[in-house]
Amino acid sequence: MNIVVCLKQVPGTTEVKINPETNTLIRQGIKNIINPFDSYALEEGVRLKEKFGGKVTAISMGPAQAVDMLKETISLGADEAVLLSDRAFAGADTWATAYTLAGAVRKMGQIDLIICGRQSTDGDTAQVGPEMAEMLGAAFTAYVCQIEEISAGQMRVKRMMDEGYEIIQSTLPAVITVTKEINIPRLPSLRGVMKSKSAKIPIWTLQDMGLDPKKVGLNGSFTRVVKIFTPQHDKKAEMIHGEPEIQVTCLLGKLREGGLA
C-alpha cells in the first residue's frame, strides 16, 4: 500500500495567551510539536504498512523549520517525508492548504490511502482532510476509530459519530481522518532516531508541484482573519462559605429558589 500521512506542526500547548498590553499572542517558550491528532494518523499508517507492505510518506505544508518535525516522523516509522514549503504558501487557510496538499499527493502518483488527524489543536477546524478528499476525487471518511479490513481496493472502517458508531465501506483511494481511539502511537526507536538524523527531507515548492499561484497561500484563501482577542468572562461567582454542611444547605436553598433542585 502506498500511504500518505498529512501532518501539521503546532505549538506544544494550547495554553496560548494574548499579551493584554500589545494584544498579540505570547509565544515565548512554546515548543512546536507534531499535532497530537496527526501522531495517531502516522502510527496507523505505519501499522498498515507493517501489515500490508508498501510505503508511508509523511507530508506537511509549512515553513522550513517543519523539517525537524518531518525528521521525527522518520524516527516513528515513516519511510520518507516531504516538506511543502514556499513563500507563496504563507497565510493559507484550509482551502488553500488542502489544494497544496492535494497537489503534492497528485505529484506522488498512485496513492491508496491518505490519513490525517481528526483536527489540529491550534486551528481546530477539521476541514483540510475533507476538502483535500474532494479536490482529489477520493472517498472520504471522518472520525475513523478502527480500520477493520482492507482488501481488493476497498476498505471497511468503524467511525465515531455523535450518536454512535458507523461501519462504512468505501473504495480506495481514500482519505480518512482518525481519532485518538484508533491506536496508541509508538515511541521513536533509537535506530529510527539515528536514521532520521541523516534523513534528507526534500522540499517541494509551488513550481515543483505545478500549482496555480492564485490558489495557494493567502491568494488562494477565501477566508481572512480580521481580529484576534481573548475571550472575556465578566461574571463573578457568588461565593458560598462555611463548613461543608452549611455550604451544601445554602447552595440547595439557592438552587431551589431558581427552581433547579
Partner 1 sequence: MAIKINPEKCTLCSICVNTCPFGALELKEDKIVVNDRCTLCGACQEACPSEAITLEETQKTAVSSEHKGVWVFAEQRDGKVKSVSLELLAKARELAAGLKTEVCAVCFGHGVQDLQQLITHGADKVFLVDSPDLSSNPEDYLTAQLSNLIQQYKPEIVLAGATALGRSFIPRVAAKVSCGLTADCTGLEIDIEKRQLLQTRPTFGGNIMATIICPSSRPQMATVRPRTFKKNAPDGGRQGQIIKLDFNKEGITAHSQLLKFVEDVSEKVKLDEADVIVAGGRGVGKTENFQLIAELAAALGAALGSSRPPVDEGWLPYSHQVGQTGKTVAPKLYIACGISGAVQHLAGMQTADTIVAINSDPSAPIFDIATYGLVGDLFKIVPLLTQQLKRE
Partner 2 sequence: MQYFLTDEQKTIKELARKLAEERILPVRAHLDEAEEFPWPIIKDMADSDLFRVFVPAEYEGLGGGCLELSLVVEELSRVCSGVAISYAATALGSYTLMDFGSEELKRKFLPDIAAGKKLCAFALTESTAGSDASGIRTTAEKVEGGYLLNGTKQFITNGGEAELYTIIALTDKSKGPRGASAFMVEKGTPGFTFGKKEKKMGIRASATCELVFQNCLIPEGNIIGRPGMGFIMAMKLLDKSRPGVGAQALGIAQGALEAAYEYTSQRIQFGQAIINQPVVQSMLADMSIQVEAARALIYAAARYADSGAKDITESSAAAKVFASDVAMRVTTDAVQLCGGAGYMKDYPLEKMMRDAKITQIYEGSNQVLRSAVAAELRKRKAKS
| Contact footprint for partner 2 (CB under 8 A) | 186-194, 197
How far, CA to CA in Å, does 160 sit from each of 118, 145, 227, 249?
11, 7, 34, 41
Residues 6 or more apart whose Cβ sits within 8 Å of residue 181: 145, 146, 160
User: Which 8-state DSSP code applies to residue 221?
Assistant: -
Residue in 47, 106, 127, 208 binding partner 1, rule: CB under 8 A? 127
The least distance separating partner 2 from the CB of residue 187, rounded to whole angstroms, comes to 5
Strand partners, 154: 151, 171
C-beta of 195 vs 214, nearer to partner 1: 214
Q: Which helix (H) or strand (E) holds 151?
A: strand 139-151
Would residue 75 be called left, alpha or beta, if left means φ above 0 and alpha means ψ between -120 and 50 degrees?
alpha
Residue 104 interacts with which of partner 2, partner 1, none, CB < 5 to 8 Å by class: none
The least distance separating partner 1 from the CB of residue 192, rounded to whole angstroms, comes to 26
Q: Binding string, 188-227, against partner 1, x = CB under 8 A?
A: -----------------------------xxx-xxxxxxx
Residue 20 interacts with which of partner 2, partner 1, none, CB < 5 to 8 Å by class: none
Q: Residue 219 CB: number of other CB atoms within 10 A?
A: 15
Residue 146 interacts with which of partner 1, partner 2, none, CB < 5 to 8 Å by class: none
C-beta of 10 vs 46, nearer to partner 2: 46
How far, CA to CA in Å, does 9 sit from each of 21, 43, 235?
28, 16, 36
C-beta of 5 vs 216, nearer to partner 1: 216
C-beta of 46 vs 142, nearer to partner 1: 142
Would residue 182 be called left, alpha or beta, if left means φ above 0 and alpha means ψ between -120 and 50 degrees?
alpha
The footprint of partner 1 on this chain (CB under 8 A) covers a number of residues equal to: 93
Q: Assess 122 for contact with partner 1 (CB under 8 A).
A: yes
Q: Residue 49 CB: number of other CB atoms within 10 A?
A: 18
Q: Residue 257 CB: number of other CB atoms within 10 A?
A: 9
> Site residues for partner 1, window 164-183 (CB under 8 A)?
164-171, 174, 181
Residue in 79, 156, 186, 205 binding partner 1, rule: CB under 8 A? 156
Residue 133 interacts with which of partner 1, partner 2, none, CB < 5 to 8 Å by class: partner 1
